[in-house]
Structure 1
Amino acid sequence: MLTVSLLVCAIVALTRAADECPTDWKMFNGRCFLFNPLQLHWADAQESCMKEGANLASIHSLEESTFVKELTSADLIPSWIGGTDCQVSTRWFWMDSTSMDYADWCAAQPDTTLTECCIQMNVGIGKCWNDTPCTHLHSSICAKPLK
């Protein structure tokens, strides 16, 4: 009986761990998000996320956008998210391969400037999105699914 009890406790503990985000990550809608305050180029920010088993964040709803903005509320500078059109101008996609089914562009954005092909958020009224050169230095938001 003791062996069965220990086995059940171990299974419950493993199941609970699988439903939680790692330390310092915040859960929203089945994904874990992490704000990284380090000022990095977009590619370096994506690489930093990948080292954590994540990508720069994709955003799929107003609610998710609001959540991500709250993660960065103390940050007064723009933050990278995972959208890019560097391969083909005006063909935006997320680094995590999900569909771009939501957008929060600032007025007159994206402006299709060929040198501006990465998305920064936290600019303008309402912390909207702007396409900007990927070589700028910004904080970033990583996201990954719960394991």
Structure 2
Amino acid sequence: MKNAALKYAGLLIWLLVSEPVRCETIKRYMLNVRNSAIGESRTVRSLLKCSVLFEESSQYLSFNYRKNDKTCELSTLYPESSKSEFDWAVYASISGGYHLSTTTANWNTAKAACESASSRLVIIDSQQEKDNLLSLNNNQDFNHWIGLTCDFGRDCTWIDGRRADSGYQSWAEGEPNDEFCVYMGWLGNNWDDTRCSHMKLYICEKI
């Protein structure tokens, strides 16, 4: 059961976590940093190939992909540190990921920051995804822009063109109201539309 939990409920996290983590629910990886307790090392063509090897394993808790020499290192320990421009936390899928900003920006600047990292402001498709993001935020309240806009509180649309009312929604009571840009963090971490010029944290999603 423990191995199954590692494989299917596990998270790949590319970041330094200051608090202890639960081994049965979290996996992590690093990039271009030497790992310790290496149980297996292979030459692979890409980070994606390294990710596949890692996900197919049952005994490893972290991996490090050194892109300079295309080495994939699988380790039985969590990495101790990681340095990158963006810290990406990846749930289940090896091709996706989230970045929770540590600085504030208006909605348009946040959108541009995500796009500069080959990502987008997050689109939240389910309660499970919202819960995962809450876990990434250490179960703290959100005050984060998401990839959703409205037209005076109507016709709310995700940045990929989908209408918000065609799928999962998590609006606070009485919302949306009469504004344009949407953030998560109102009345129990729900959604609220507000002025796009407000300064807030934001969540990027790998695409």
Q: TM-score range by the shorter chain?
A: 0.7 to 0.9
Q: Secondary structure at the match of 1:40?
A: coil
Q: Residues 28, 89 of structure 1: CA spacing in aligned structure 2 closer, same or farther, 3 A cutoff?
A: same
Contact 2:44 2:50 survives alignment (8 Å) = no
Q: Which amino acid aligns with 2:91?
A: F
CA–CA distance in structure 2, aligned partners of residues 104 and 14 of structure 1: 33
Q: Tell me which stretches of 4 or more aligned residues in structure 1 moved more than 6 Å.
A: none
Give 1:122 deviation, angstroms.
1.5
Is 1:51 matched up with 2:116? yes
Give unmatched runs, 5+ long, in structure 1: 1-7
Contact 1:69 1:122 survives alignment (8 Å) = no
User: Which of 135, 138, 141 is equivalent to 2:203?
Assistant: 141
The structure, 1 or 2, with the larger RCO (C-alpha pairs under 8 Å, 6+ apart) is 1
Partner of 2:126: 61
CA–CA distance in structure 2, aligned partners of residues 24 and 40 of structure 1: 18
Is 1:103 matched up with 2:103? no
Instruction: Using structure 2 for the length normalisation, give the TM-score.
Output: 0.55
Partner of 2:24: none
Q: Residues 11, 35 of structure 1: CA spacing in aligned structure 2 closer, same or farther, 3 A cutoff?
A: same
Contact 2:150 2:193 survives alignment (8 Å) = no
CA–CA distance in structure 1, aligned partners of residues 159 and 138 of structure 2: 23
Contact 1:55 1:96 survives alignment (8 Å) = no
Give 1:89 deviation, angstroms.
5.3
Give 1:33 deviation, angstroms.
0.3
CA–CA distance in structure 2, aligned partners of residues 74 and 139 of structure 1: 15
Give 1:77 deviation, angstroms.
5.8
Q: Residues 38, 59 of structure 1: CA spacing in aligned structure 2 closer, same or farther, 3 A cutoff?
A: same
Q: Secondary structure at the match of 1:48?
A: helix
Partner of 2:147: 82
The correspondence of residues 11-30 of structure 1 with structure 2, limited to 5 A, is: 11=45, 15-17=49-51, 24-30=87-93
CA–CA distance in structure 1, aligned partners of residues 176 and 180 of structure 2: 9
